[in-house]
Amino acid sequence: MAGEGSQYSFSLTTFSPSGKLVQIEYALKAVGAGATSLGIAASDGVVIATEKKLPSLLVDEGTVKKILMLTPNIGVVYSGMGPDYRVLVRKARKTAQVYYQLYKEHIPVAQLVREVAAVMQEFTQSGGVRPFGVSLMLSGFDDNGPQLYQIDPSGSYFAWKASAIGKNMVNAKTFLEKRYSEEVGIEDAIHTALLTLKEGFEGQLSSSNIEVGIVGADRKFRVLTESEVADYLQEVE
């Protein structure tokens, strides 16, 4: 992947004397500067949500899609650099289809997470590339039930009951820690997700500046419409 006459055919992610990979640290900073996203795994489904922070009032917010489907039962959201996110979504969707073509069975959530994480790790150990500037929050429902996974720029992944990434993650996670319980159903989880986003939101939360995606026991991931989000927001108020 090095260009012609390039001096940079070595990996930019080389160890520092203290045993860190500074490029990954910096990538995490890029994630931390991104809009907050969070996910909650309920007893009968998973909800993911994000702030849609647009640079200007003139942006057509209906065309901005941060929450995307990877397979009919797996959805994803991110914090960090949008363009990097889209590359990963493409790769993840292809991985899922390759699996389906081979086995005629939908890829289990954990397997997809592993493959995506492996791609992200590759970019921390190859020449002439930089790590992805995104953390992903993957939500899915398969034979092992509802699952929520976070994948970092380093390629490490964690399964969460509830978590947040991005600008306001520390406060959001504290809020979630207080509110989370194992038996919570998906409707309550959606309310909790909205309340958590509201906590750190600069300005007025509305259905046009957040996005919510859910996958329930029907195992069908979908992004809620603006009017559905508006209804949930009203219930929360």
Partner 1 sequence: MSIFEYNGAAIVAMAGKNCVAIGSDLRFGVQLQTITTDCPKVFQMNDKLFLGLSGLGTDAQTLHEKLVFRHNLYKLREERSMKPTTFAHLVSSVLYERRFGPYFAGPVIAGLEDNGTPYLCGMDSIGAMETAKDFMVQGTSPESLYGMCESMWREDMEPEELFETLAQCLLSGVDRDALAGWGSVVHVITPDKVITRTIKGRMD
114 in contact with partner 1 (CB under 8 A): yes
Least distance between partner 1 and beta carbon 145 (Å): 14
Among 105, 182, 202, 237, binds partner 1 (CB under 8 A): 105
Give bridge partners of residue 141 from the DSSP assignment: 146
111 in contact with partner 1 (CB under 8 A): yes
58 in contact with partner 1 (CB under 8 A): no
SS3 57: coil
Stretch that binds partner 1, among 2-10, 106-114, 132-140, 173-181 (CB under 8 A): 106-114
Burial of 108 (0-12, 13-18, 19+ CB in 10 A): middle
159 in contact with partner 1 (CB under 8 A): no
Residues 6+ apart with CB under 8 A from 232: 190, 191, 194, 212, 224
Using the minimum distance from each CB to partner 1, give the nearer residue, 111 or 126. 111
Least distance between partner 1 and beta carbon 104 (Å): 4
> Is residue 97 within a helix (H) or strand (E), and if so which, with residue range?
helix 82-103
Among 101, 204, 227, 234, binds partner 1 (CB under 8 A): 101
Stretch that binds partner 1, among 15-23, 26-34, 108-116, 180-188 (CB under 8 A): 108-116
Using the minimum distance from each CB to partner 1, give the nearer residue, 59 or 98. 98
Stretch that binds partner 1, among 23-31, 51-59, 104-112, 213-221 (CB under 8 A): 104-112
Least distance between partner 1 and beta carbon 114 (Å): 7
55-90 burial, b at 16+ Cβ within 10 Å, e below that, comes to: eeeeeeeeeeebbbbbbebbbbbbbbbeebbeebbe
Stretch that binds partner 1, among 34-42, 107-115, 129-137, 221-229 (CB under 8 A): 107-115
145 in contact with partner 1 (CB under 8 A): no
Residues 6+ apart with CB under 8 A from 99: 105, 106, 107, 111, 112
CA–CA gap between residue 214 and residue 197 (Å, rounded): 16
141 in contact with partner 1 (CB under 8 A): no
**Structure token digits, residue 200:** 């750190």
Using the minimum distance from each CB to partner 1, give the nearer residue, 32 or 72. 72
C-alpha Rg value of the chain to the nearest Å: 18
**Structure token digits, residue 17:** 């004397």
Footprint of partner 1 on this chain (CB under 8 A)? Answer: 101-105, 108, 111, 114
